[in-house]
Amino acid sequence: MYRETVPILTMKGKFITFEGSEGCGKSTQSAMLYEYLKAKGKRVIYLREPGATKISEKIRDILLDAKNQAISVQCEMLLYMASRAQIVAELIEPALKKGVMVICDRFLDSTLAYQGYGLGMSIALIRKVGAFTTRGITPDITFFLDLAVKHGLRHRQANLDRIEMRSVNYHLRVRRGYLKLAKQEPKRIKVVKVEKDKYKTQGAIRKLVEKYVL
């Protein structure tokens, strides 16, 4: 049966999300944390957004296909939300209810940063649709991996997807948006500077996880 929100008390597991601009290494860092926690004997699953379910992966293909330049701003936002609704219902909510830790590469903050601050959509509207989409589930901790935009985009020169193809100014707005979100929610969103040595970056993340999550 459909429910608009989920009572926080029903969530036994911990929810960890990773955010960042293109090329910041968040997929690498989130996967490394997953392996670390699994090695410590934690019950944990690793997901990516958009994606992780059959339906969400099909939506991902539509969103990132460089040929789909005609997608409107409104359609883009709603497709991300649709993918998110499926992953929440199918994977995230059930896992958290069972006490399983969930690590997700991107979540609602991505839509606020990319479609809100990046494309100029109403932040209030995105938050309202987001609350409906996520059933009220909020990450316990979010890592924003901060890296200079131009440096990150240099890692994405070949086979650019539809979002990566956008202008540097767009990606600068996204980064500034993430930093605004971090200032608004400092207890949840932790800004982690990306180091050249990925293990140093991972070390900083693990310290925060040990302090605030485990």
pLDDT digits (tens, 9 = 90+) for 124-146: 999 999 999 999 999 999 999 99
pLDDT score, position 13: 94
pTM for this one? 0.92
* Cα gap 122→111, rounded to integer Å: 11
Nearest to 190, CA basis, from 162, 171, 209: 209
Please state which of the four CATH numbers 3.40.50.300, 3.20.20.70, 3.40.50.920, 3.40.630.10 is assigned to the domain occupying 13-202.
3.40.50.300
Q: Where are the domains of the chain?
A: 13-202
Average pLDDT of 36-45?
96
Nearest to 20, CA basis, from 198, 142, 126, 150: 142
Tell me: pLDDT of 22 over 90. no
Side-chain-facing half-sphere of 11: CA atoms under 13 Å: 19
Average pLDDT of 44-58?
97
Where does the pLDDT of residue 53 fall: very low under 50, low under 70, confident under 90, or very high at 90 and above?
A: very high
Mean pLDDT of the chain: 92
- Write the Ramachandran bin of 51: left for phi over 0, alpha for psi from -120 to 50, otherwise beta: left
pLDDT score, position 30: 98
pLDDT score, position 79: 98
Percent of the chain at pLDDT exceeding 90:
80
| Residues 141-198: tens digit of each pLDDT | 999 999 987 766 666 666 788 988 888 899 999 999 999 999 999 999 999 999 999 9
